[in-house]
Chains A and B, each alone.
Chain A
């Protein structure tokens, strides 16, 4: 359990400055620990067999050099350790910590990762605010299993939401601890002291002061301040709620930011792995002789796992192309057309998730019944950086640099794959080139580790775009069936909602409908892996719900905004709708008005969102151009308004894809989309005018920001298309072919 930064690993770090680790040293065992307080429970961690954070606090302090350490706990949060069947218990006395170094810099150690969503900045802001230090004195050490406490992974818009409040508390406690230290130093009681920019002052005599750096100098102090501390009031905020440019800017615009594929280790080999042509295919025969003849190529085979290694990735790819392999591919008869029947046939029994009133009387009391099925294709994550990992074994230690959303997941998987104990596996997460949920699966890391072991050399596995499409855990194809009804007066009276394979996120309806029921059906009938995709399931559910509402509004002859407001008690939803309408300049008109205006709203990750869009539909080609999108989002306390706005814009832009073009083509387990030529991502020329309205609630906790706005994109565009040309699309994506088909009737 002893922390050792081995020579090799250390030199790699230095060379690539993978993380901001340079302040960590493994020497300095003689340092004085003048004021060490060991709390009860310290060291008890190691007795918990499921707890595999390598260092308990005493060990950490021993190796981390001087400074002041503050250990804290992310409270008893139900979301942690309960998702995805992960039942690992968190350490019982701390699971995050920060260090105030002798140079006054503050390091926050967290297992979260930065993949573009900006937590690098927003977490730093929360800490800097409560600790009263400048934001640029905070360093983030993220996603390194050796240095950071265990974390379940970075997804579900949870970093700011669940990590934020305890982080602020930790910052406040740390500030309190520094004041206590300073009070000894300045010879006055803590009540007389205040902090500005990392310097503690006596309130009545500003000349009497001491900086955090001076307090930390030559010390190793471990603190967990006792007693109550309170968080700052919103009116006291100096850093929270202010916009800061991203802190990873400079390294990203100069090419210095390192991603997993940029890691190079002396003697490293690049691997290309023989892949089946289709999911479910079996390898019958393989001939590697031609590849073997190539100079510098090493062929590795372990059962059906066949790979070629070379010191250049492109030469490895050439070698791979020389392998002759025969596969037996299954004929399942399932393709992107038949998939929906297949899924319906295989669905498990439904589970009623909410129920109110009486469906039968709802039906009887309705004048018009709407019975509609909505479909949604499989969607790929397609991050610009494909899954990549570099693995390096030294003695009995394995280091893996992985593009991953859950480094601790990689640690466990890789350890299992190699039959090692996970404490001998260190996973380092460099910058991640996009994840969107897809990098919570880490097959590439196991492959790299396996090959490093088989070949005895450091190995990098960087998937090609084709492999990335093949092994993606797609957002599941899904079906929603809704039967709804309105009374003679245009009141919604019936809502019978059945969702297949999209899950329950966003399935609960928030309109006031007296007779309603929501039923969810699942099953494991997908022909390949599926998983969470930015706001999983909610995209499908919001598309279906908001289309259905719109349809009823049109039938009732009521403006779709007005119709929604008439059926809402939820103040937050009403507020975002009104805010969006105001910004958009919405004027009431019943649909279809020909204006091409659409509306959709929904709830996700604790946030409330309403979106309005204007589209133009080319009736000859079926092409849809989204001209303008206004999105109003209530996300509680906003840490970094600019960062939050950027996330909303990202959602809107990315959402154009699943709304208009992104749908996976496949047949019999073969993925027919292998690159961006047939699987089209949103482009610059699709970019609408985007306007974001953030509705802040300073007194509530921050809510998710990286996902909510995307949920409305399918619905708002579908409704805008209807509004423009009077036809409805019930199948996402709304490709030109599907639009033309709908126009033909």
Chain B
């Protein structure tokens, strides 16, 4: 059933009339032309479609758009606050935390959410925390290294990489 749904997308209020049962992934990618979240499996297995909802990682292929009513949705496009790359993004670049890059937005946002919960995560904790995100290119080692680096940096400066528009 069509309804009007309002939420914050990457810091901007967004309103659209849409069947609330539709999955957030497709509404973001098509209706809202925000293509950072990717389709990888459609069943919640791979994590390519990960977005932040109120700062916590969620699989947008499993989330109905009506569930985000009034909430704060951040995709990879919204992670760089005012154009400055987030420490995770920088660390992914420095450590080559990707190859084809298709899993990357899901990896970064999952890591963001994870580090928020476990700010001083160790290597082993990161491996566990990221285990449900798939990467076919085998970039795992670099991804883990990037997250470790970012974890260190974030705990030095800003405990959880907190941003004003991501609560």
Residues of A within 8 A of B (CB): 115-118, 245-246, 248-259, 261-262, 264, 270, 311-315, 382-386, 431-434, 436, 462, 464-465, 642-643, 646, 649-654, 675-677, 681-685, 687, 690
Contacts and interface: CB of A to CB of B under 8 A. Distances in A.
Contacts of B135: 384
Nearest to A460: B30
Contacts of B41: 465, 675-676
A691 to B, nearest CB: 10
Contacts of A257: 101
B100 interface: yes
A383 B40 CA distance: 9
**A-B CB proximity, top 9 nearest:** A255-B36, A653-B138, A116-B100, A433-B102, A116-B99, A252-B101, A255-B76, A650-B138, A249-B93
A432 B100 contact: yes
A249 B101 CA distance: 9
B142 interface: yes
Nearest to B48: A384
A254 B127 contact: no
Interface string B101-140: 1111100100000000000000000111011111111111
Given A254-B89, A255-B75, A115 B100 contact: yes
A248 B127 CA distance: 25
Given A249-B98, A258-B35, A312-B22, 9 more contacts: A116-B101, A246-B93, A254-B85, A255-B36, A261-B35, A384-B136, A434-B137, A653-B141, A654-B136
Interface in B17-48: 19, 22-23, 25-26, 29-31, 33, 35-36, 38-43, 45-46, 48
A675 B45 contact: yes
Contacts of B108: 253
B151 interface: no
B166 interface: no
12 contacts: A117-B99, A245-B94, A246-B98, A313-B26, A314-B25, A384-B40, A431-B101, A675-B42, A676-B46, A684-B133, A685-B131, A690-B141
B122 to A, nearest CB: 13
Contacts of A311: 30
Nearest to B128: A685
Contacts of B19: 315
B150 to A, nearest CB: 11
B96 A646 contact: yes
Given A253-B89, A254-B80, A677-B45, A684 B140 contact: yes
A649 B98 contact: no
Given A434-B102, A646-B139, A652-B138, A462 B133 contact: no
B92 interface: yes
B40 to A, nearest CB: 5
A682 B130 CA distance: 12
A653 B41 CA distance: 20
A654 B100 CA distance: 14
B144 interface: yes
Interface residues of B, number: 60
A662 to B, nearest CB: 11
B77 interface: yes
Contact of A382 (B99, B103, B136): B136
A447 to B, nearest CB: 17
B139 A254 contact: no
A172 B6 CA distance: 58
B136 A687 contact: no
Contacts of B102: 259, 383-385, 431, 433-434
Contact of A384 (B26, B38, B85, B144): B38
B123 to A, nearest CB: 10
Contacts of B142: 646, 649
B100 A315 contact: no
Interface string B53-87: 00000000000000000000001110110000100
A432 to B, nearest CB: 7
A83 B41 CA distance: 33
Nearest to B25: A314
A115 B101 CA distance: 9
Contacts of A386: 39
Contacts of B25: 314
A687 B100 CA distance: 19
Contacts of B143: 684
A2 B39 CA distance: 38
B134 A676 contact: yes
